[in-house]
Homo-oligomer: A and B are copies of this chain.
Amino acid sequence: MLQNMEERQPSRENTLDNTVRVETFSDGVYAIVATLLVLELRVPVLSVINSTEFLHALRDLVPEFIAFAVSFFTVGIYWVNHHYFFHGVQKSDWKLLWSNNHHLFWIATIPFTTQIVGKYHTLKWAVGIYGFDMALAALSIMMMIHYVFFHSKLMYPGFPEERKRSEFRRGMRGVYLYFIASALAFINVYIALAIFIIVPLMYVIPGLLNDHSEINL
């Protein structure tokens, strides 16, 4: 706001001098996706209204509830990583905006694939597609990070090169893991499902227990 006009002139050829709006827009998409997931949990219509019928109907919702919870916390991981990443980004440009839109596209499909795996968790294709969506969401955020870290001048100056490389390597592990889980679904769906449940737990729990909040993913 204090910069002179030479710098402030918006231009498709150069950079935007902050990242406020891309963060607001992304927060909106993450918040909506996380919250929409619960819309799939439809209250059962009971033929006879009593506790036995009601509990039976709820029991049938258990797989969908688990799918909702797993996707909610997995979207939470993407949001936390997005937040940490953008904390180091000073400016945005056209490629960053579109790399981010690409990532948000795969985030936006999560309610659909969550619904699929919630309903048909015994079908290898349903489980495989869910894992593939998660892998693409992870890959697309890493593509954005790769561009900003290694092919742009959008970071705050002084961010150590070694740190960029180690963060990038760490992030890529999640991508590999989801592609592998997606492939494993065609061998045994329960192994893939276990991975989907374990990843967020493995990611979140240790950081909450130790004092240094190291992240292992």
- Taking Cβ atoms with an 8 Å cutoff, the residues of A that contact B are 5-6, 8-10, 12-13, 16, 21-25, 27-39, 41, 43, 46, 49-51, 54-55, 58, 69, 72-73, 76, 79-80, 83-88, 93-95, 97-98, 101, 104-105, 108-109, 111-112, 115-116, 119-120, 122-126, 129, 156-159, 204, 207-208, 212-215
Contacts and interface: CB of A to CB of B under 8 A. Distances in A.
A208 B21 contact: no
Given A28-B27, A54-B125, A119-B43, A101 B80 contact: yes
Nearest to A55: B125
A120 B49 contact: yes
SS class of chain A's interface: helix, strand, loop or mixed?
helix
Contacts of A204: 98
A184 to B, nearest CB: 16
